[in-house]
Structure 1
C-alpha cells in the first residue's frame, strides 16, 4: 500500500540528508550498486543521489583530511529509506543478501517491516516498508509499535522477482533517527516550534515524533550517552538534513 496519506499536503517530513564522507568513490559504489540510488549530479567533492531519477534524497560531500567518527557521537543514528511496498523491499534485501552485503538486523515493528545495515563508513541505514495504515493500532493518541522477530523468509517469498537495479520511483526518506543529549529540549522544539506530535516513546530513552498520525518522521535517543561528543566539521557523519513543508493547494474558485 502506498504511504501517500502521510506524505501528502499538509504535512512536514524529512526529504534530504547530507553526509560528510572519507572515500567518495567507495561510498558512491555502495549507494549506487548496493542500494540502487542514481546519480543526479556529481563533482570531485559532491555527489547528489536520488531514487530512479527523482529529486535528490542524499548528498555526499568530502574534503581533505576527513577523520573517522567517534565510537559514540551525537548526530545520525540512521537514515530510513521507505520503499513503496513489501515486494520491492524484499527485492532489495534479496539483492543485498545475494551480494553478501552484511545486514545487521531485521525487525517487525507492527507498523512496518525493517532491515538494518550500515554504509562502508558506518552510517546507519534502515530499509523498510509500511504495513497498511488501517492495520495500525493507537492507544491514548499514540501509535503501538514493537520490535519483534521479522518473518524474513515470508518477505523474500513475495519479493518482486525481477533482478534489482535501481531504487524504485517513490522511494523516499521515511524517517531520520538521531543520537541526542536531551529529549525534553528536543520535544519542546519539534512539538511547539514545528508542530510535530509525540507518537510513542521507549521509556525515557527514545522519542518518536511525526505529523499526520504517521508512526514517526523523526526519532531521537539517548543511547550514545550523556557525554557523547558532537561531530566536528571534518568528521564522517551527518552535516545537515532538510524538512519538506507541503501545503495543500486551494481549490480554484469558479
Structure 2
C-alpha cells in the first residue's frame, strides 16, 4: 500500500448493485414508490434504474438470491444505500409519499450536515434518503473540524418547505 495517496476530490460513487429476492417487488419499491426510472431490464433477473437518465444509479439482481431470505441486520454487508435529494423540499415530498403509502420508516435524524429519513427496502437493505445542508451551514467543532451528530428530525420543520 502506498502512503499519502488521496483519492481525487471529484471521485464519486457511480452506482450501487443490490442482490434482491424478488425483482418485481424491488422495482415496485425503487421505481413505483421512490420514483426511479428503469433504464434496462435484463430479462426477469436484473434491472438497472436511474434518476434523471443516467445509465444507472442502482442495479438490482436475483442472480444469487431469487426467492431467498431478507438481509440480516446482524451480519456483514451493506448498512444502507444513501440517496441525496437536491432540496429540503424534495426530501419533504418523498417523506409525504412514504407516509401516504404507510411505508414503515426505521428512523429520522438531523445530523447537523444533513436531514435524513431511514427505511428498509423489501429485502431488508437499509436506505437513507437525505438532504445536505449547504456546506457553509455545517456545524464545526472549536478546532474547525466537522461536527456531526444524530438528533431528532422534527418533521414539522421538514414539511415547512411544502
How many Å apart are 1:65 and its aligned residue? Answer: 5.5
Rate the CA distance shift 1:118–1:71 in 2: closer, same or farther, 3 A.
Answer: closer
* 1:59 and 2:70 matched: no
Q: Is the 8 A contact 2:29 2:121 kept in 1?
A: yes
How many Å apart are 1:39 and its aligned residue? Answer: 0.3
Task: Mark the runs of 5 or more structure 2 residues left unpaired by the alignment.
Answer: 1-7
How many Å apart are 1:141 and its aligned residue? Answer: 5.7
Work out the number of aligned pairs and report it: 151
* 1:142 and 2:145 matched: yes
The structure where strand makes up a greater share of residues is 1
Specify the alignment match of 1:221 in structure 2. none
Structure 1: distance between partners of 2:113 and 2:98: 23
Aligned-pair Cα RMSD in Å: 1.7
Specify the alignment match of 2:79 in structure 1. 77
- Local SS of the residue matching 1:36: coil
How many Å apart are 1:15 and its aligned residue? Answer: 2.2
Specify the alignment match of 2:160 in structure 1. 157
Structure 2: distance between partners of 1:57 and 1:89: 18
How many Å apart are 1:64 and its aligned residue? Answer: 6.3
Structure 2: distance between partners of 1:53 and 1:95: 22
What pairs with 1:13-52 in structure 2 (closer than 5 Å)? 13-43=12-42, 44-52=44-52
CA displacement, residues 147-168 of structure 1 (integer Å, 9 cap, x when unaligned): 1111111211213xxxxxxxxx
- Local SS of the residue matching 2:136: helix
Query: If the length of structure 1 is used for normalisation, what is the TM-score?
Result: 0.56
Higher relative contact order (CA 8 A, sep 6+): 1
Structure 2: distance between partners of 1:51 and 1:75: 25
Q: Is the 8 A contact 2:116 2:131 kept in 1?
A: yes
Rate the CA distance shift 1:127–1:147 in 2: closer, same or farther, 3 A.
Answer: same
How many Å apart are 1:111 and its aligned residue? Answer: 0.6
Query: If the length of structure 2 is used for normalisation, what is the TM-score?
Result: 0.86
- Local SS of the residue matching 2:53: coil
Specify the alignment match of 1:202 in structure 2. none
Task: Mark the runs of 5 or more structure 1 residues left unpaired by the alignment.
Answer: 1-8, 160-254
CA displacement, residues 145-193 of structure 1 (integer Å, 9 cap, x when unaligned): 111111111211213xxxxxxxxxxxxxxxxxxxxxxxxxxxxxxxxxx
Rate the CA distance shift 1:37–1:75 in 2: closer, same or farther, 3 A.
Answer: same
Q: Is the 8 A contact 2:19 2:65 kept in 1?
A: no
